[in-house]
């Protein structure tokens, strides 16, 4: 996929942390690890990569189990803690001991877990469109559940979600994108949409995604609760991006929530929907570069 979506990048094909990682590497400068969300792959960063690559060496993998990144074993479950450890191993294998990190959606959840579990590794962290799992689940009401039903469908134990997804994978992923305000070809052009559908048709990918959501409702939530009780915080500056269309006057802003987790938080609202880096890539690139241009 590198030539099609990242013409100036080289393929990432590296074994580290129990995962054969796939994706792309490109650019020059201080390292920046970019993590995609559900139901995407590394190509989610295709629109912002050219601007960021002028200032950073970009490492853009598929998350373990997503896309073409293949874990050597599927048990124990790939919690965000386990994903974070594998990503640290990948960055060490690429000779990056310290690096900036930006994550969207599930990638942000793996990203903040990495920061909490590996102090000193991350120089800057950016969360796109999400707040920590503990706070997200604590605020669930019927409106959240209606829009984000997939959290609770995919998180069901057993094989029920896998069997349901197998019946109509394209229809499911298309419905997810509608819920994320990403049905337009302006947000996801046909070639990218086809790539996402192709990845989601793989039963192993669907299984990994279900395990990801199961972990969120169990192990990941427990890890957040432990950190909240212990008063642990992210040890680096945090940039929080969110779509202003999703702001609610009766709720705290994402930046306010993240200030429970970090002492240095900058918040930026953007246009567009949930898929920020695909919907408003210029705004995302500008926010990241303003914060990180001089990151070493």
Q: Active-site residues: which are they?
A: 105, 274
Peptide bond into 199 cis (omega under 30): no
Contacts of 279 (CB under 8 A, 6+ apart): 181, 182, 187, 243, 271, 272, 273
User: Could you please report the per-residue DSSP string of 245-288?
Assistant: GG--TTS--HHHHHTTTBSSEEEEEESS-S-HHHHSHHHHHHHH
Q: Is the dihedral of CA 143, 147, 149, 152 positive or negative?
A: negative
Number of other CB atoms surrounding residue 268 within 10 Å: 19
80 burial level (CB within 10 Å; 0-12, 13-18, 19+)? buried
Q: How many whole angstroms separate alpha carbon 114 and alpha carbon 34? A: 13
Name the 3-class secondary structure at 33: strand
Q: How many whole angstroms separate alpha carbon 234 and alpha carbon 13? A: 30
Number of other CB atoms surrounding residue 248 within 10 Å: 9
Strands (E), the chain: 10-16, 19-27, 31-35, 57-61, 70-71, 99-104, 122-128, 238-243, 265-270
């Amino acid at each position: 996929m590198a030539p099609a979506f990242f013409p100036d990048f080289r393929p990432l094909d590296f074994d580290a942390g129990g995962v054969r990682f796939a994706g792309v590497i490109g650019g020059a400068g201080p390292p920046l690890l970019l993590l995609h969300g559900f139901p995407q792959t590394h190509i989610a960063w295709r629109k912002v990569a050219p601007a960021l690559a002028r200032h950073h060496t970009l490492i853009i993998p598929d998350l373990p189990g997503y896309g073409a990144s293949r874990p050597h074993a599927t048990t124990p479950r790939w919690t965000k803690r386990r994903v974070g450890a594998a990503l640290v191993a990948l960055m060490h294998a690429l000779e990056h001991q310290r690096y900036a990190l930006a994550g969207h959606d599930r990638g942000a959840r793996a990203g903040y877990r990495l920061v909490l579990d590996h102090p000193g590794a991350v120089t800057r962290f950016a969360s796109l469109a999400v707040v920590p799992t503990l706070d997200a689940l604590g605020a669930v009401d019927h409106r959240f559940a209606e829009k984000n039903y997939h959290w609770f469908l995919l998180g069901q134990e057993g094989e029920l979600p896998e069997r349901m997804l197998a019946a109509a994978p394209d229809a499911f992923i298309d419905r997810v994108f509608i819920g994320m305000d990403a049905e337009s070809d302006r947000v996801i052009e046909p070639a990218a949409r086809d790539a996402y559908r192709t990845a989601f048709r793989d039963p192993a990918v669907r299984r990994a995604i279900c395990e990801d959501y199961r972990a969120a409702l169990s192990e990941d939530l427990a890890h957040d609760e432990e950190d909240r009780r212990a008063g642990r915080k992210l040890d680096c500056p945090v940039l929080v991006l969110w779509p202003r269309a999703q702001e609610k006057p009766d709720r705290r802003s994402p930046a306010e929530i993240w200030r429970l987790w970090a002492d240095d938080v900058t918040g930026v609202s953007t246009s567009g929907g949930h898929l920020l880096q695909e919907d408003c890539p210029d705004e995302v690139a500008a926010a990241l570069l303003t914060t990180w241009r001089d990151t070493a």
